Copies of this chain bind each other. A is one copy, B any other.
Amino acid sequence: MRIKVITPLTSEAFEKETREEVVKFASSGTEIHTERIEYGAESIESAYDEALCAPGTIRLAEKAQSEGYDGIVISCMGDPALDAVREKVDIPVVGPARATMLFAADLAHTFSVVTILQNVIVLIEDLAKKLGLIEKMVSVRSVDIPVLELTDKGRLINSLVDESILAIEKDKAHSIVLGCTGMMGIADALKDSLLKKGYNVPVLDPVPIAIRYLEALISLRLSQSKMTYMPVTIKERNIWKRLD
């Protein structure tokens, strides 16, 4: 099976890191390609950024379907443009936030998301409301590090440990969801640090989960409901004249 992982932002470095990471998670027999959008914003840290990255993400998704990919992951914890893309294509499209929250809801009584910045807390809470899981999400906490500074893994892991412990002790979280797809390759270290301090909880890493979940959908021939994500009507949409 062939999977397209769309990086819904324009940073080359971020896409490169994603590319190196995702190949580790795929099953043998799965071919994964990553691609980043051409126009949009350098990173996604607001509803404003999401809005600007949506057209490019839609175009890449249409392209992936026409090239015969079996499914798509939109690699960002805001699940940007997910509804629009699911309307536009028939192959299954996975948003890491939804997928990871669902895994967390099964594995634990409660979960907490630890994300990058205060700015995206509301976005993530709204995703959980829409998905119906707000009752199980006991908090969204942030490490206060912008996406493009996530490369300092030492600083990141320390902050993640601190916030995760607060999530467990104060908010009664029974599992931890990494709240940004840029927090790559760090879940095991976080899990181990927590375990050493006596906290035996699952740490859920969104990109690997999204890929494995998409593989499951593809092999089960499942896709998004066309009653929820109805096909779009044909009419003039002149924005493409400028963007294409």
Contact = CB atoms under 8 A, between A and B. Distances in A.
A209 B110 CA distance: 23
A65 to B, nearest CB: 14
A79 to B, nearest CB: 10
A130 B135 contact: no
Nearest to A126: B130
> Chain B CB within 10 Å — which of A42, A81, A102 has the most?
A102
Contact of A228 (B56, B108, B135, B229): B108
A140 to B, nearest CB: 10
Interface of A: 10, 25, 27-29, 39-43, 45-56, 58, 81, 83-84, 87-88, 92, 94, 98-99, 102-103, 105-110, 118-119, 122-123, 125-126, 129-136, 146, 148, 168, 174-175, 199-202, 204-205, 208-209, 212-213, 215-217, 219-220, 222-230, 232-233, 235-243
25 contacts: A27-B27, A27-B219, A39-B239, A39-B241, A40-B239, A41-B235, A45-B232, A48-B88, A49-B237, A52-B55, A56-B239, A83-B123, A103-B217, A105-B133, A106-B131, A107-B223, A107-B224, A109-B125, A110-B228, A119-B232, A132-B136, A175-B225, A202-B222, A208-B220, A209-B220
